[in-house]
Structure 1
Amino acid sequence: MNESAQERLVAAISALLAKGLAQDAAVAHFIRSTHGELPPHRLATLLADGDDPQGASLAELLLFPGEDTARALEPDLARAGLDAAGSAALAQRLAAAVTAAVAILPDGTRLTVPMDAEAVARFVSRLGPERGLPRETTHLLTERLGPEVALTVAVAARRSGPAVWPPGAAALVRAVAGRLPAEAPDALATLLYLVGFLGGLAAGALPLPTLMARHGRLSAQLRRARQQELAFSKSNFETIAMTGARLPYLHAPDIARELALCAAAIEAATGRAAPPAEATCLDLGVAADAAALFAVLDDQSD
């Protein structure tokens, strides 16, 4: 653990909490729908009462780090490179330095939110200090796609990526990042999709085969969704339901979008288009050995 980097991180978080955590319109809407048009001083009183459940839930909402906060702190989080012990130490040092945070609503209202050691620890945990992209992956992203893309992917990794990056997952991200055309309009979206996919991977699952299996399931879902669309164009929901047909919710545009991102990730990782989901039969002729077989497969992929 880099001691100076952790000190810098403590200072950066402390300064940000004092400067103010920007809240978005969704937070303002939640406050209005839950508490009505309370004036700022009433909201401040609510937050100051540590025994009020409504005040506690409001504080939890205001202390959730948003996109701007995550992007501002990512460079210092990456430099610190904390593990579980380092994250706990960070929470302790920050609790000794911070007793409150400022939340800034979209209309400019500034609310002071008290923070005890438990609240500080929760805030630190939500920053994902242990979930950062491996440094070599971040460097590759920066070199190939630029610092803004690298920062966006790094922030997404802390929010939705694996809690611990196994070598196979990190290697898959590097392979995709290294081969995606930098000018591709969906390059960033593909990487964000891949990071989120890897974050939901079951322990011990192989990343690339699981991604290919996901592609197959999405292809089947898309076919089913289009079949349902065709059926609805010729009939209606009630009539079809009366036949005993099962009608799961399948939104074809959403499925098609995910399928395209999945296919783009697979093609970048393997250099080949994602395999078709349907069973196919193709006469490859006769190959004398493995090398000859791979040569035939290469010819078929052209």
Structure 2
Amino acid sequence: MVLGLARAVARELERETPAGPEVERFARTALGGADDAALAALLADPADPDAAALAELLLFPGRAMQQALEPALAGADAALGGDAAPALGRALAALAPRARFTLPGGLAVALAPDARACAGVAVRLRPGHGAPPALARAVDAALAPQAALAARAALRHSRCPWTARNVDLLARLAASPLAGPELPALLAYACALLPGLDEGADLAVALARAHAAALRHLEAHQRFARRLAEQNFETLALRGERAPHADPEALRREMRAADRLSRILCGVPAAAPGVAHQNLGARAPGDGLLDPGGPDSFDPELPELPDI
């Protein structure tokens, strides 16, 4: 099983893959604007510490590689378990693959990753950490094949622990007709939220608090923007005011995701007054709250946010 997976990884490495934007950024910033010829010369000098950094950037599995390998990884998950990366790294090094890349300017280069580099590739592919079968089946049933593959690859790399509670919540989310085309984004938001919750935490309360925190940041951003429109930045700085480190659109997306998750999994809107401060008990999400009564019983869309 490990050897078969290692061969699949080697095949992907041996495809000619375009270098990602991080390589161009590395050449521009760390190397002072090095062109393709300079990058190729650097890779040929393993004694240069910058060569190891550049090779690591090139070998880092991107989204295309993660999605291409997801079927092979998923097939091996059950057999390999969560500690499969070292064995995969050794098997990959034994195959001695030649990784091929196209640099930002179009020049093709090849690398021969050593045992340490192969071990790094194996760790970053996260074998044995894919979505459990029940969650994978729910995602496959809810999305088109390519979208399901992308969602399952994202779940593998989400760092969300596959506890019984987390798997149940995510599978229910995937199976809900209310998620619609936003399912991949909602899964990503849920996977970012769940690791920070205690096993017995009330999900409705957590989502209400996340919604309220994002709203507070949005209000602070809008208040600062109004003051900045009336005064110059230097005056505000002299008064000790600082621009909020916030992206209003990202905050609105977070509020929308929290509200959608709360409606789907708990039956209440995240913005409901007082929910963030109520002890809703240790019941399962949705018990004793609001029974949605099916996909047509309420509008799952987050209304337009008012001007603050």
Aligned residues: 281
Structure 2 matches for 1:27-176, cutoff 5 A?
Answer: 27-33=23-29, 34=31, 36-40=33-37, 42-81=38-77, 82-162=80-160, 164-176=161-173
C-alpha separation in 2, matches of 1:94 and 1:279? 51
Letter in 1 for 2:24: A
Letter in 1 for 2:147: V
Give the Cα separation in 2 of the matches to 1:83 and 1:229: 51
RMSD value over aligned CA atoms?
3.2
Q: Deviations over 1:47-84 (max 9, x none)?
A: 23322111111111111111111111011111110324
- Please say if 1:18 is aligned against 2:14: yes
Secondary structure at the residue paired with 1:79? helix
Deviations 1:178-213 (A, max 9, x none): 22436x453332222223334x52675748243332
2:175 aligns with one of 178, 195, 198: 178
For the structure 1 residues 187 and 279, does the alpha-carbon distance in structure 2 shift closer, same or farther, using more than 3 Å as the test? closer
Q: Distance in 1 between matches of 2:276 and 2:130?
A: 41
1 CA distance for matches of 2:275 and 2:4? 56
Query: Matched residues in 2 for 1:280 and 1:88: separation?
Result: 44
Q: CA separation in 1, counterparts of 2:273 and 2:244?
A: 20
Shift of 1:95: 1.2
Establish whether residue 260 from structure 1 lines up as the match of residue 256 from structure 2. Answer: yes
Give the CA deviation at 1:137: 0.7
Q: Tell me the TM-score normalized by structure 1.
A: 0.79
Per the normalisation by structure 2, the TM-score is 0.78
Q: Which runs of 5+ in 1 are unaligned?
A: 282-292
Q: Residues of 2 paired with 1:87 and 1:244: CA distance?
A: 50
Amino acid at match of 1:186: E
CA gap of 1:112–1:190, structure 2 versus 1, over 3 A, is same
- CA offset digits 1:142-168 (Å, max 9, x no partner): 112222222122222233332x32222
Change (3 A) 1:18 1:241: closer
Q: Percent identity?
A: 31
> Amino acid of the residue matched to residue 83 of structure 1?
G
Larger Rg: 1
Rounded Cα–Cα distance in structure 1 between residues aligned with 2:273 and 2:93: 53
Of 266, 270, 282, which aligns to 2:266?
270
The 3 A distance-change label for structure 1 pair 37 and 23 is: same
